[in-house]
Amino acid sequence: MEETSGELPFQAVEQRRTFEQILLQIEEAIIDGRLKPGDRLPPERDLAQTFGVSRASVREALRVLEMFGVIVARRGTGPDAGSIVAGSAQNGLESALRLHVGLLRIPTKDMVEMRAVLEQRAAQKAAERADDKMTRHLHEIVDGMRAATSIGDFNELDTEFHVELARVSGNALLPVLMEALRGTMRRAMLEGFERLPDWRAERDHLVGEHERMTSLIEAGDGEAAGAAVQSHVMRFYRHVMEPETGQAGPQ
């Protein structure tokens, strides 16, 4: 076997920074189930002693975890202070997605199309497994949407409906993805509503679409429910979100 001549395409291996080693250990503890949502991490002083590092390194690692929504930091002193393992990754995932959308200049239309695909599948699965309690909750959210008097309140309830639809599908990842997608597109959706001459007319139309989607899920018609959700998502984009130029840039 011949030896490779010339310079090798390798570089010296960099030693992990201290806070990265702490992050890795905490990540492994979460994956292994040794740390669960609601668990409280020891105080910074104790963590520094356990890891054999400075408190500054521990603080840096905790700040990164907080930024990604892995922990919730409660300031001050007393029994309620300290870092708690978060019960939801929504904020961290949404922040990461929003940053990547901005950096990569991902068009809003691409996010909408991906959302339509995911929600079509969610509606199909929801129609297969939804019980009376699940569909009753969807109907209650739609009733709230009908009574909404502000764009912001309506958007919050609209988001709640679609996240709940994803939850009813039975796929544990879908609600997390839906919350992140909706949060990332929130500004574009609100701005689209504000451009309408009569946002309440659009609200009423959307309420009707949501009622139909819920009824189809209630009837167990997965194919029709999936088609209705996909049509709803894309119609809303074309009618409300898409700027007058016809091109949706990153939001």
Q: What is the CATH number of the domain that holds 124?
A: 1.20.120.530
Determine contact, residues 218/169, Cβ cutoff 8 Å: no
Distance from first CA to last CA of the chain, Å, rounded?
55
Alpha helices in 68-197 (DSSP H): 90-104, 108-129, 132-147, 151-168, 173-195
Q: Cβ neighbours of residue 1 under 8 Å, at least 6 residues apart? A: none
Same domain, 43 and 109: no
Residue 80 sits in the same domain as residue 113: no
Domain tally, the chain: 2
Which pLDDT score is estimated for 28? Answer: 87
**95 and 200 belong to one structural domain:** yes
pLDDT the model gives residue 248: 40
Q: Which of 67, 85, 103 is the last residue of a domain?
A: 85
Q: Look at residues 56, 62, 55, 57 and name the one whose alpha carbon lies nearest to residue 26.
A: 62
Confirm if 184 and 95 have CB atoms less than 8 A apart.
Answer: no
> What's the confidence (pLDDT) of residue 125?
97
Q: Comparing C-alpha atoms, which of 185, 197, 198, 195 is closest to residue 233?
A: 185
User: Does residue 153 share a domain with residue 213?
Assistant: yes
pLDDT for 184: 92
Q: What is the pLDDT of residue 83?
A: 84
Residue 9 in domain:
no
Residue 79 belongs to domain with CATH number? 1.10.10.10
Q: Report residue 37: phi and psi, to 5°.
A: -50, 135
pLDDT for residue 229? 97
One domain, residues 45 and 137: no
Beta bridge pairs of residue 71: 85
Same domain as 28, residue 135: no
79 burial type by CB count under 10 A (0-12 exposed, 13-18 middle, 19+ buried)? exposed
* Long-range pairs of 79-88 with CB within 8 A, sequence gap ≥ 24: 82/40, 82/41, 82/43, 83/40, 83/41, 84/38, 84/39, 84/40, 84/41, 85/30, 85/35, 85/36, 85/37, 85/38, 85/39, 85/40, 85/41, 86/37, 87/37, 87/38, 88/37, 88/176
Q: Please say which residue of 85, 116, 132 terminates a domain.
A: 85
Structure confidence at residue 16 (pLDDT)? 66
Whether 156 maps to a domain, the answer reads yes
Q: What is the mean pLDDT of each run of 10 residues along the chain (251 residues)?
A: 55 66 87 87 88 89 85 67 73 81 91 96 96 96 97 97 96 92 93 95 97 97 97 95 52 39
Task: Give the range of the structural domain holding residue 181, as residue numbers without chain letter.
Answer: 91-241
